[in-house]
Structure 1
Amino acid sequence: MTEGTTCVDVTELNPAPTPAEVFQYFKALPLPQLTTSVQPPGGTVLVGLPTIFFTDAPVEQVFTVDIRGFQVVITAEAREFTWHTGDGGAVVTSEGPGAPYPDQTVTYDYTSGTYDSYLTVTWGGTFTVDGSAPVEVAGTTTTDGPVVQLVAVEARAVLTNPYD
């Protein structure tokens, strides 16, 4: 016989992580810096021909972290893509990662010059605590991808004699 033993619910002493608490961890995650791909490839684009922007990097990342003894699984999702064109502050925003030709969804027309472009991704996400139902993370964070230098050139028509 055991005397004086009682069960204590420790949940009140160590409550599950809140969305705001998980957000602090979310901001510190090593989220990828997505690389900008362009078409035409090679860094030279043509004036008068839309330049196609896209990224083929993963747009979802899953992380497992320990918060005060709770196993928290955070699924980070790329929710907004901001393509900095390097053209005097011009940006193009999309909800998706773009796509290469012929399914392009993000394009920009350049004038002659040299431009530094890059991609900023806004990440949001959901999380579970010890296998619970998913809950929305309480905010977003951003990452900037590496700079891609583009040179916009103007193609000129040249008449030739087909009989030479």
Structure 2
Amino acid sequence: MKSMYATGAAEQYRYRISPACDVGGQVTCNQPAECADPPGSHKFDVWRSPESPIAWEVIGWTCLTDADAGELGALTPGMVRSAFRRLQWPAAELSVQPPDGETLVNLDTNFFTTLTDASTQTVTLVGITVEIEATPQEYHWHFGDGVDQSTTSPGAAYPHLEITHAYLRKGEVGPSVDVVYGGRYRIGGSGGWTDIPGTLTVPGTAVGLTVLEARPQLVG
């Protein structure tokens, strides 16, 4: 964390800040204290130590926004949340059964995706290494005919039919599935994980599907 210096009449001091709920002056914490003024700010302890010998002590606190804290070299949960949302995470690839892009009217068409594993990326924020993990939590299915469905299941391949849809009329449709990620992070690639508030939805690409109408025929 960035230190600040000030010279007094008798000795020189260095200063630093850390989130007010820290234990032992860590760079972040699980439940940062929020301030009402200014809006969106968090509470930070102000630490002071003589230049020599080093002996840190809390001498007060202040409320800082993400921008203000960043200028002082402090990491905030808001910075991590913004990084989580701007990073690119895998989109879900939709599988449809029957295969080959065709199905029948009134047939239970099966849908699933194999995107179930967590993805991890490492970023550097205000000089601090942060590991961010995104885990699929929910799936939003768009069947292409105006019908949507949300599930926590990724579906399954035949014969384990979990996510199915019957089309009522023939035509061309473009079904897709969006994946909803939950996030968490940790500092320096070790230690405990901290949940990131909210979720992030990554849209899926529509696949072409032709709905055919089968006509019964008598055969001799």
Aligning the two structures, in what range does the TM-score lie when normalised by the shorter sequence? 0.7 to 0.9
Deviation at 1:158, TM superposition (A): 1.7
* Counterpart-to-counterpart distance in 2, 1:52 and 1:98: 8
Output one character per residue of 1:45-67: Cα deviation in whole Å (capped at 9) or x when no partner: 11121111111235421111111
Deviation at 1:8, TM superposition (A): 6.1
Q: Percent of pairs identical after alignment?
A: 34
Quick check: which one's strand share is greater? 2
1:108 and 2:165 aligned: yes
Deviation at 1:42, TM superposition (A): 1.1
- The amino acid across from 2:86 in the alignment is A
Please report the TM-score for the alignment, with normalisation by the length of structure 2. 0.65
- The amino acid across from 2:54 in the alignment is C
Select the structure of larger CA radius of gyration.
2
> Residue 129 of structure 1: which of 166, 187, 193 is its match?
187
1:143 and 2:202 aligned: yes
* Counterpart-to-counterpart distance in 1, 2:129 and 2:191: 10
Deviation at 1:120, TM superposition (A): 1.2
Structure 1 spans left out of the alignment, 5+ residues: none
- The amino acid across from 2:127 in the alignment is G
Query: 1:91 matched to which residue of 2?
Result: 148
Query: 1:6 matched to which residue of 2?
Result: 53
- The amino acid across from 2:134 in the alignment is A
> What value does the CA root-mean-square deviation take over the aligned residues?
2.3
Q: Which has the higher contact order (CA 8 A, sep 6+)?
A: 1
* Counterpart-to-counterpart distance in 2, 1:86 and 1:155: 20
Structure 2 spans left out of the alignment, 5+ residues: 1-50, 62-71
Alignment of 1:36-115 (within 5 A): 36-88=94-146, 90-111=147-168, 112-115=170-173
How many residues in Structure 1 have an aligned counterpart in Structure 2? 157
Output one character per residue of 1:60-115: Cα deviation in whole Å (capped at 9) or x when no partner: 21111111222211110111100111112x10111021111111211111122211
> Contact 1:20 / 1:137 at 8 angstroms: preserved in 2?
no
Runs of 4+ in 1 over 2 A off after TM superposition: 12-15, 17-20
Output one character per residue of 1:23-48: Cα deviation in whole Å (capped at 9) or x when no partner: 10001111112111110011111112
- The amino acid across from 1:7 in the alignment is I
